Amino acid sequence: MSALIAVLLAIGFTLSASIGSWAQEPCTTGTLQGQYVFTGRGFIEAVEPGVQRVHYGVFVFDGAGRFSGKQSSSRGGKIGREKLQGTYTLDADCTGTMTFGLILNYGQIHWDLYVAEDHKRGHLIRMDEGSMAVRLIHQRLADRHASAHARSRGP
């Protein structure tokens, strides 16, 4: 009986290790494809001290290191709508960078990117001196199904 329990435990550990390795698939720029909605907030102390900013929008990743999108913003109560474009990198450990092109008069904007294990969510933190901002991204449901179908077909 104890031999049977030992075998069942060994099978269980093997299966859980296999499932864990599937969930932690390495990232590439191709990991991010399609639309990801985002929310964000922060301050740009160097430009406008104490003025809080709130952003909602969508990024569209091309799977090859470029993105576009748009956002609605409130900067201290001043409302704006901006188009977004830029580049991104993503390393095997699911960390990377995003660089936005010119938005308003701020020049290029730099972010560090952290994609969650499921590749459907992520976090960004702004890396420009004097700025404090974070964003949360979530893949849209329709794009999740398309990405899962593309991964199941293979290269």
Of the listed ranges 18-27, 43-52, 144-153, the least confidently predicted one is 144-153
Mean pLDDT of 35-45: 91
More confident site: 102 or 128: 128
More confident site: 12 or 125: 125
User: pLDDT tier at 148 (50, 70, 90 boundaries)?
Assistant: low
Whether residue 82 is predicted with pLDDT greater than 70 in this model: the reply is: yes
pLDDT of residue 66: 97
pLDDT of residue 146: 57
| Rg of the chain taking only CA atoms, in angstroms | 20
Mean pLDDT of 117-136: 94
pLDDT of residue 147: 56
User: pLDDT tier at 108 (50, 70, 90 boundaries)?
Assistant: confident
Whether residue 63 is predicted with pLDDT greater than 80 in this model: the reply is: yes
Structural domains present in the chain: 29-153 (2.40.128.20)
pLDDT of residue 3: 55
User: How many CA atoms does the CB half-sphere of 31 hold within 13 Å?
Assistant: 25
pLDDT of residue 13: 46
Question: What Cα–Cα distance (Å) separates residue 25 from each residue in 89, 91, 142?
Answer: 17, 12, 21
Q: Give the three-state DSSP class for 37.
A: strand
pLDDT of residue 19: 42
Mean pLDDT of 75-92: 94
Q: Are 109 and 128 in contact (CB under 8 A)?
A: yes
Q: What region, left, alpha or beta, does residue 4 occupy, with left being phi > 0 and alpha being psi -120 to 50 degrees?
A: alpha
